[in-house]
Amino acid sequence: MEVIKQNWIDAWNHKAFRMNFIFGLVLLTIAMIFTSFFFNHIQDNKEGVVLNDWLLQRLPAMDVSAYIVILMFSAACLFAFRGIPNPNMLITFLFAMILQLTLRMITISITGFMAPVGLIVLRDPMGSMLYQNRFITRDLFYSGHTALLCLFYLCSFKKPDRFYLLFVAVSVAILLLIQHVHYTLDVVCAPIFAFACFWTAKKFIGYQNAYLDGLESHLA
């Protein structure tokens, strides 16, 4: 506990980190509120495209919600366990998550996919809270579950953690297809978008830190 406390004291004493962290929390709150309303709005839109997915047509639909939730929860717990003592790891994830939520609203609006044929309702308690206790079937391109796990992987440092998170990401992607919650395109493209969000977040934080440190030195 002392190490965790000292890490956060050191980080918080750095003005650039403090400003970025507060700014990030505000942006994340706004993005989550917008996401909730957006998904409920998109769900009520009756127009869209049903993709001809070769793989889904050959996969029998099965309810694997329990496996998906258990794997997601284990990955989240591991990431939290490693992230809480590491402020830099958390702030990178924070800004990457903001970008991901924003980008998904854009890509979902552009593509407008309808739910895959044979979709089985995914019983996900965390998703239900974000979606106002409503199961959303139109949040398709790209897969939020897969992208989130990819962000966990990208933001992690320890090799054993990365191996496990990669295993979970691949497993959940496959299970989402088995449950017909997503198209193959959704899960295949998710890592690409996750990497783009991670890379942009890293660059943004680096530029912000350099700018704020320079400004602080100038004003001193």
**Other residues' Cβ atoms within 10 Å of the Cβ of residue 160:** 9
Q: Between 5 and 99, where is the model more confident?
A: 99
Q: What percent of the chain has pLDDT over 90?
A: 66
pLDDT in tens, 8-63: 988 899 888 898 999 999 999 999 999 888 988 888 877 888 999 999 999 999 99
Q: What percent of the chain has pLDDT over 70?
A: 90
107 vs 17, 137, 147, 151, CA distance in Å?
A: 30, 15, 13, 18
**Other residues' Cβ atoms within 10 Å of the Cβ of residue 78:** 18
Give the relative orientation of helices 65-83 and 144-155 as an angle to the nearest 10 degrees: 30
Task: Give the separation between CA 156 and CA 115, rounded to whole angstroms.
Answer: 32
* Tokens read off for 149: 């796990």
Res 200 pLDDT > 90: yes
* Tokens read off for 129: 């809270």
pLDDT in tens, 92-111: 999 999 999 999 999 999 99
